[in-house]
Chain A
């Protein structure tokens, strides 16, 4: 091993440049991979949430909905296959949209709690408890918003200029609830009512207006088919099943995965080519040495092992350095974004292990051609080389 390390750094600049080439590739892979990991988890959480229910909005968007009369719930309940309907309000935490948001923006959510036992998406709490029907002026805060809102159990936080008592802090779910403040439906309705244009306000009351319904189907009823049925029977609303979420969001993650694949491919090309170049140069400089070793009895596997280990080590050093820089970047950016509750990256163990392994395997594969060339060197010709 000592000999291999010595050989590697015979031409320090060349080896370091090659290592740096791999470092850049693995750095990009780590950062992009962490971003894709975060998105995939957000989407996976969303898929889990929407899997067994129908969401009803006003308008085509799954997330941005216009106001609806709370009594629409009664019409929806009449549709065959509907087990229960919960009215809800979902709006942004700040009065205007945040300039940049990664994933769902920081939000307020209020929902009728009577159907809570039917909800399959369970949330646990690191502190305090879940919201109750009579928790007027009280909130539960998502894990990513704790710092942004300065939330402490039992203390007040300010939302849209009004104080709310924090009665619970959610555990991290790695999906939408992390950036959500949950309150009672009446409290959320008041906030939402305040956002509406005066002309709409003049025609309704805060307790009459919501912007979404969650529909729980009867056991064995397909939520997508139920959504179609609701759309046929109830006017002026848009019901969507899990398929709509898949179509609108989940499939879009394919783009991120494609970007990740692209980054991996580029790092494969750049890193691989530089390893091939370095190893080929190195072997051509050491032809005589290879001849000596073969004359002294080195077997094919000895020569192959020596050069593949060297190539693998170049990959390992580049991989570790790239992963280290990537992890540092992820850490710094996440720390900086923590205050805004907008966490961009998730550096998982599988991304870390894959990044370093990928670099080592890349090095070995790229080193194979030059190493094979070394094995094939003619001893007599090699010994004659100056």
Chain B
């Protein structure tokens, strides 16, 4: 019974924090679990009240309008980050306001030390601001318990890093399966989903290759497949073409644009103007602040 409650709670989290697709899946799973539970309820009366309360809460939340209104946005308000580097105080962010909406393809540019990566890490919930607030779907991240952050990262967010950051002992398929594993998806299902994601990035024939057996471009495509496999609300790319030559950069960005056209939100930190050129919105940062911003919807 305790296991059911735990499972129910996890499903609720997916429902509350997940994408629309995940939330629907979660609702179905909740209903299935409810039926299963009803069969057992007579035997386990002691836990009935708790479980019913959980179910009611899940159903009321699903029926609430809040979900419909807060539509896949990430908002940062007056974000500041102060840290110490060898005793000296560094102001990585000095009050950044921005909102990323679903379907956007955003490039963050700026010189080294301007705070691009710090901002990306905060929006990706990898780092915490010294001051300011971040909202995901109108939910203040500060109100989310620390232990729930991994669930949000595995269900809601995707990451692509400069140096691919694939686990070297795992095959391409296993690397792509990782976020699904942490999201608690069943092995058979996550294998199918990972395979589909790899096919989507054109690596259907490299499923069982280790990262060492793949080219830089292929490794980055595996990383992109890994970031999209859990249908995240936003994918964060930190210099995702930084280690690729121009041809590979073009290939990878072609893939990013293709995914973005399918509705996938991207926030990309880059030094490369060629990368920024394909983005609809470009944010320039300097000294921990947003210096200027362009919206190039028409260029797309």
Contacts and interface: CB of A to CB of B under 8 A. Distances in A.
A289 B183 CA distance: 18
Interface in A273-318: 288-289, 292-300, 302
List 7 A-B pairs, minimum CB-CB distance, nearest first.
Answer: A297-B154, A297-B182, A297-B153, A6-B169, A299-B150, A296-B179, A292-B165
16 contacts: A3-B169, A288-B165, A289-B168, A293-B178, A294-B150, A294-B153, A295-B124, A295-B159, A296-B182, A297-B150, A297-B183, A298-B154, A298-B178, A298-B182, A299-B182, A380-B121
A3 B159 CA distance: 22
Contacts of A6: 169
A379 B252 CA distance: 25
B151 interface: yes
B175 to A, nearest CB: 9
B147 A300 contact: yes
Contacts of B154: 296-298
B226 A296 contact: yes
B250 interface: no
Contacts of A293: 167, 178, 182
Given A296-B154, A299-B147, A299-B150, A380 B182 contact: no
B213 interface: no
Interface of A: 3, 6-7, 10, 288-289, 292-300, 302, 379-380, 383
A10 B169 CA distance: 8
B161 interface: yes
B182 A302 contact: yes
B186 to A, nearest CB: 16
B126 A379 contact: yes
B68 interface: no
Given A3-B174, A380-B127, A297 B147 contact: no
A304 to B, nearest CB: 13
Given A3-B169, A6-B169, A297-B179, A383 B127 contact: no
Interface in B89-119: none
**Which of B150, B170, B178 has the most A CB atoms < 10 Å from its CB?**
B150
A289 B166 CA distance: 8
A3 B151 CA distance: 22
B97 to A, nearest CB: 22
Nearest to A9: B169
Contact of B155 (A7, A297, A379): A297
Which of B126, B127, B169 has the most C-beta atoms of chain A within 10 angstroms of its own C-beta? B169
Nearest to A289: B167
B170 A383 contact: no
Contact of A292 (B127, B150, B167, B183): B167
B110 to A, nearest CB: 18
Contacts of B183: 297
A288 B147 CA distance: 21
Given A10-B169, A295-B126, 6 more contacts: A293-B178, A295-B153, A296-B154, A296-B178, A297-B150, A379-B127
B287 to A, nearest CB: 20
B150 A383 contact: no
A3 B187 CA distance: 14
Nearest to B148: A299
Contacts of A300: 147, 150
B171 to A, nearest CB: 10
Given A295-B159, A296-B179, A380 B126 contact: yes
A288 B165 CA distance: 8
B225 to A, nearest CB: 13
Nearest to B156: A297
A302 B226 CA distance: 18
Nearest to B168: A289
Contacts of A302: 150, 181-182
Interface in B120-175: 121, 124, 126-127, 147, 150-155, 159, 161, 165-170, 174
Contacts of B159: 295-296
A265 to B, nearest CB: 35
A296 B153 contact: yes
Nearest to B121: A380
A289 B169 CA distance: 10
Contacts of B153: 294-297
A28 to B, nearest CB: 34
A269 B137 CA distance: 52
Contacts of A296: 153-154, 159, 178-179, 182, 226
Contacts of A10: 169
B150 A298 contact: yes
A3 B170 CA distance: 7
A297 B124 CA distance: 11
A295 B201 CA distance: 21
Interface string B241-278: 00000000000000000000000000000000000000
Contacts of A289: 167-168
Nearest to B181: A302
B285 to A, nearest CB: 17
A348 B150 CA distance: 47
Nearest to A379: B126
A383 B165 contact: yes
Contacts of A295: 124, 126, 153, 159
Nearest to B223: A292
A189 to B, nearest CB: 75
Contacts of B226: 296
Nearest to B164: A292
Given A379-B126, A380-B126, A297 B151 contact: yes
**Most B CB within 10 A of own CB, among A10, A289, A297:** A297
A293 B126 CA distance: 12
Nearest to A302: B182
Contact of A383 (B151, B161, B178, B179): B161
Contacts of B152: 297
A31 to B, nearest CB: 37
Contacts of A383: 126, 161, 165
A232 to B, nearest CB: 69
B124 to A, nearest CB: 7
Contacts of A7: 169
